[in-house]
Amino acid sequence: MANQKKGRIDPITFIYGFGAAVILIGSMFKFIGWDYANELFIAGLSIEAVVFLISAFEKTEDEKEYNWEKVFPQLTSDAESGSNNGQDTDSYQAAMKQFSGSIKSLSDQITLLNGSLEEIRKEMTASAGKGKQMHERMEELNIQFDEYNQHMQKMNAKYREFLSNRKM
């Protein structure tokens, strides 16, 4: 299966898919309540069992997960021996310079971001202090309004008393 070519059907895969299709049709028959559902299940599961048995003895080849030598040709043994007149070494050094420049740029941007965050923190701390002062002043103002309200109530009481004494 590892060395399949396009346009070619693998017989094991075909039989496996056929068995799965028979099981699905058998499931549909079972849900609907049609006849021959059990027979379709038996046939499909038998096909699957045979395919699994055959695939247990199938040989596989180890595949490379990635072809890094295509991305980084300097990783091949030719590059190590210097057979390309130093071209791979030069491209490696150029790539490393570019990478180093990218890292430096990223580091500079992180430093700028850190500075900006520090300024934001300072501003928020100052704003919090001003907010606290405003809260304290509002509390003082509330106390003064309470005192003003009490004085007004006393004045109103005195005025009512004056009016009631005058009517008499």
What SS3 class is residue 155?
A: helix
32 within domain boundaries: yes
**Residue keyed to tokens 């395919």:** 51
97 within domain boundaries: no
125 within domain boundaries: yes
Burial of 35 (0-12, 13-18, 19+ CB in 10 A): exposed
What confidence tens digit (pLDDT) does each residue in 56-109 have?
887 777 666 777 777 777 667 654 555 555 565 677 788 888 888 899 999 999
What confidence tens digit (pLDDT) does each residue in 26-40 have?
889 989 999 999 999
68 within domain boundaries: no
Q: Which domain holds residue 24?
A: 1-60
| 103/111 Cα distance (integer angstroms) | 12
Number of domains in the chain: 2
87 within domain boundaries: no
37 within domain boundaries: yes
Quick one: 113 and 54 in the same domain? no
Helix axes 37-56, 11-32, angle to 10 degrees: 160
Label residue 54 by pLDDT band (50, 70, 90): confident
| Dihedral over alpha carbons 144, 146, 149, 150 (to 10 degrees) | -110
Quick one: 108 and 55 in the same domain? no
90 within domain boundaries: no
For the range 119-123, what are the long-range contacts, defined as Cβ-Cβ under 8 Å and sequence gap of 24 or more?
Answer: none
74 within domain boundaries: no
